[in-house]
Amino acid sequence: MRIPFNRVAQIYDKTRGLPPKVMGKIVEALVKEMKEHRTVLDIGVGTGRFAKPLQEKGVELVGIDISRDMMQNAKKKGVKGLLLGDACSLPFRDYSFDAAISVHVLHLIGDWQTALKEICRVTEDGLFSITHIHQSPLSEAYEELAREKGYDTRRVGLGEYKLKEIVKPAKFFRAVSWVSSADDRLTYFRQRAYSRQWKVPEDVDKEIVKELERRFAGQKYPLEIYILRWNIKDLKSYLKKQTQH
């Protein structure tokens, strides 16, 4: 199972956007961490949200995604090296890249271990990711309310933030923190912008969003973004153990 984002391609950047200063700090930290890597593969490049600034900073990056519509937006931004393809069957030779980056991708892939195996096959040194360690309170409440109504909105795969609990990252550090507005997020919930909502019928979704508005309108909450880096050899060791069980 894969979850493509064609349906929200035109609003994706707005609904997933970060404040410019926050984005700047994340990109700065990534560039610093990737300085020893000549070539990078961006799995699930999407609209080029990270690919564009990384390429502008001199990172030699290739992006791949299953959503043609998302990548059309990346192309319009001037992102280079875009390929339509599946993370579970990457069209590259072994060790084609020094490093890879995967941001909010593995949770969208039911067979996430196959995707991870492919990443390890084509990558020589490291896998990077950017993640929130904790969900926003609105997302947690949505999941709870949907479950009460009989709908399971849990991820089909395993998020990168959960992968760190299975395979210890070589590096794991906070890149930036800031205060986010619940009202902004409620606007995007009203647009059914989040993949967890797509499992819920529209009428039920509207009921849940109204309850979120009642609980959270006008509130603010802290957010933190962390950067993770795994050694490919450690990921391969984990995958090898899985095949032996």
Give the residue from 49, 63, 43 showing the smallest Cα distance to 11. 49
So what's the pLDDT on residue 10? 78
Q: Which helix (H) or strand (E) holds 204?
A: helix 202-216
Mean pLDDT by 10 residues, the chain (245 residues): 67 77 95 94 95 96 94 94 96 97 92 96 97 85 96 88 94 93 93 90 97 96 94 96 81
Predicted TM-score (pTM) of the model is 0.91
Domains and CATH numbers, the chain: 6-134+156-179+224-244 (3.40.50.150)
The pLDDT, as a whole number, for residue 9 is 65
What per-residue confidence (pLDDT) applies to 4? 65
Residue with tokens 């949907």: 146
- Residue 126 pLDDT: 97
Whole-number pLDDT of residue 3: 63
Q: 164 is written with which tokens? A: 């760190």
pLDDT score at 214: 97
Question: Running DSSP on this structure, what letter comes out for residue 81?
Answer: S
Burial 158-172 (b: 16+ CB within 10 A, else e): bbbbebbeebebeee
pLDDT of residue 245: 67
Which residue from 85, 25, 17, 98 is spatially nearest to 59, judged by alpha carbons? 98
